[in-house]
Amino acid sequence: MAGTRAGPSNLALAILGVVVLLSAIFAVVAERVHADHSSTPRASGLPASVSTDVANLMGLTALPSRAADDFVLTDQRGRTLPFASFKGRTVALEFMDPHCTDICPIVSQEFVDAYHDLGKSADKVVFVAVNVNRFHTSVAAMSTYSEAHLLSTIPTWHFFTGSVKALAAVWHAYKIEVTAPGPNADIIHTSIVYFIDPNGRERYAAFPIDDHTAKGTAFLPATQIGTWGSGIAAVLKDLSD
């Protein structure tokens, strides 16, 4: 038996019904996604000065209080210093590639913003990065990167480097995974900020993020970079007070 074909008016009504149904489904999905995001539970043990939204953006996590591993490396000014020499001040510790064109420049901007957000508390804080690029370990490379990304405007900025053996020991101590495709490629590495209190103990960790354009260029909206900066500053202030 041949089926009957719907007339034009019936077909239009059928299409309209499908559109309405799909719109309703999308609205429910969007509402659930929004609800899931807004109801993300706050991790325990975080500073009250950091809002839940900012803490979630940063992936801020309280760490078991343990002594931060010491090391002795050379910074972008050619000064060889033990990490333990920063006791008495709060430290933001990151791991960066001086030839990076991906997430490292974004974190660098967040550090600069955090420094300005600290205001009078800035002299109680040290910003530190350890090199993850085994192909570029010279002090000059650390200095060039620091100048290019305005990190040298932070009086307490230190971009440490050393022999590959010495650097690898620090990566291992702080659980940093490093993959080096070649001397001209971005180094793939764990992106994490450790927050270390004036007693030299690890207290919090945050996990920087970025996004990419269709062409693969890394970026983060300026508002999020600013939010990260203020969040970093808030954690550092809390540990410094």
**How much is the average pLDDT of 208-217?**
91
Residue 1: inside a domain:
yes
Q: How far apart are CA 54 and CA 204, in angstroms?
A: 14
- Are 32 and 119 contained in the same domain? no
Task: Say whether both 230 and 124 belong to one domain.
Answer: yes
Do both 126 and 223 map to the same domain?
A: yes
Asked if the structure places residue 29 within a domain, the reply is: yes
The helix (H) or strand (E) run that includes residue 34 is helix 8-38
Number of domains in the chain: 2
Q: Which residues pair with 211 in a beta bridge?
A: 219
pLDDT in tens, 156-211: 999 999 999 999 999 999 999 999 988 988 899 999 999 999 999 999 999 999 99
pTM tops 0.75? yes
pLDDT at 35 over 70: no
Q: In terms of pLDDT, which residue wins out, 19 or 75?
A: 75
For residue 127, which amino acid is it? F
Angle ∠(24,53,61) on CA atoms, nearest 5: 125
Name the residue range of residue 19's domain: 1-39
Tens digits of residue pLDDT in 53-108: 999 999 999 999 999 999 999 999 999 999 999 999 999 999 999 999 999 999 99
Residue 3 pLDDT greater than 50, yes or no: no
Residue 46 falls inside a structural domain: no
- As a whole number, mean pLDDT of residues 33-39 equals 39
d(CA 29, CA 22): 10
180 and 88, same structural domain? yes
Asked whether residue 31 falls in the same domain as residue 131, the answer is no
Is the confidence at residue 18, as pLDDT, over 70? no
Q: In this structure, are 77 and 35 located in the same domain?
A: no
